A and B are shown apart, each in its own frame.
Chain A
Amino acid sequence: MTDGAAAGKPPAATMRVCLWGTRGSIASAGPDTVRYGGNTACAEVEGRDGTIIILDAGTGVRRVGNTYHEPRRLDLLLTHLHMDHIQGLGFFAPLFQNDFEIHVWGPPSTTQDLRTRLTRYLSPPLFPVRLRDVAARLELHDAPMGRFTIGGLEVVAHTVIHPGQTLGYRISDGTSALAYLPDHEPALGADGMPDRPEWTSGHDLAEGVDLLVHDAQYTADEYDQRVGWGHSRISDAVDLARMAGARRLVTFHHDPAHDDDELDAMLDDARARADGALEVLPGREGDTFPI
């Protein structure tokens, strides 16, 4: 089993993140979503030493699971347990191979451990296979609040504003950093965005990162009808990124009702709002970003 640096694989020049699912709420496959993709939240981070961290297990995790051909350790960091972030877990091929070691990290609860909460979905009648019956060596962890290390990567987990206990993650290899806040409504905690940094959800996770992958689900008009649902206007994503000094923003958690053309138009608006202060990039399934 390889742990950290993959056997025979030279160190990569940079950490990188690949998007395997960028859609929010529900998978949305169809001719109108081909460019941005229809799979729900999943991103894969690979450190320079070969450490792999998979962020969320939406339907996109099925495809990334099929890319691991050698036994190894894999770490899945779940931001929260809404269906669009865990629905792919039962179709993650390494879970069913006995020579893989899989660690799943999720938001802590004061009442139930992560296994109990995940088993609500991964058990009959919702799913035919029970979590206890998977072949891989599976360990489930309540993610520690604050800093911890996975292989060659340092992870910081903090709660962010979203219904239910929800985490955002900051991942660093010591040289560069990315922040992943796929479901986040910072505007709910402020009368106006941007508020002061110490009173802005997600600020510390995103501060100074090279790449911020952030919820950008709504237009301003849509948000007015959905306050409290846990998601951002795309303008709030831009404002948070600017306040935090992020270098690049990747739009994420696209509304299932938005087709590719609408997402292009939202991206144009976001770039205009950023006004050159940061790079705003489209979060499209299959895209890879060096960090």
Chain B
Amino acid sequence: MGWHNQHVAQRDIGLILMRQLASGMAVPMLLADDNGDLLFFNEAAEVLLGRRFDEVGDLPLDERREMFAFRDEGGVALPPDQPPLVVALRERRPVHRRVWLRGFDGRDREIEVTAFPLLGGGGHLIGGVAMFWARKQAA
């Protein structure tokens, strides 16, 4: 157990507990830090995102945008500042929206997204969560 040979800053307790909660949930969930960088998605989300989390790992927001993308109900790509979780983090409010998600595997899936910010014990923003509700898969 040579963990002490590497220094990686510990995450906020709220993020640690949320990751653990998400890992035990059947609802697809994605966890990001306060910058929107991907920290974790659970097994249920792997099905929608088209790749296992272990194959992806932590991802900065910019790289995440390149690897999976949202389109609105009319098929128009959402601007970079409009995905539900980005809005939730920026405006510190819950967001619910129906979108098309193109996953890591390039497949399109119609989903509803519920995103909300996480405020830590001191009231500061520590990250956010997106929950995905599957509707149907594109043919």
**Minimal beta-carbon separation of A109 from chain B (angstroms):** 8
**Minimal beta-carbon separation of B125 from chain A (angstroms):** 13
| CB-based contact B10/A198 at 8 Å | yes
| CB-based contact B20/A188 at 8 Å | yes
Residues of chain B touching chain A, judged by Cβ–Cβ distance below 8 Å, are 1, 3-4, 6-14, 16-17, 19-20, 23, 120-123
The interface stretch among A4-12, A62-70, A202-210 is: A202-210
Number of interface residues of A (CB under 8 A): 31
| CB-based contact B13/A189 at 8 Å | yes
**Minimal beta-carbon separation of B63 from chain A (angstroms):** 19
Question: In the complex, what residues of B have CB within 8 A of residue A203's CB?
Answer: 3, 10
Question: In the complex, what residues of B have CB within 8 A of residue A200's CB?
Answer: 10, 16
Main secondary structure of the interface of B (DSSP, over half): loop
| CB-based contact A189/B121 at 8 Å | no
**Minimal beta-carbon separation of A24 from chain B (angstroms):** 20
7 contacts between A and B (CB under 8 A): A107-B121, A159-B13, A159-B14, A161-B17, A194-B1, A200-B10, A239-B1
**Minimal beta-carbon separation of B46 from chain A (angstroms):** 16
Residues of chain A touching chain B, judged by Cβ–Cβ distance below 8 Å, are 107-108, 110, 145, 158-161, 165, 188-191, 194, 196-204, 207-208, 239, 242-245, 277
Contact A242/B1 with A196-B8, A197-B10, A198-B8 known, Cβ cut-off 8 Å = yes
Question: In the complex, what residues of A have CB within 8 A of residue B1's CB?
Answer: 194, 239, 242-243, 277
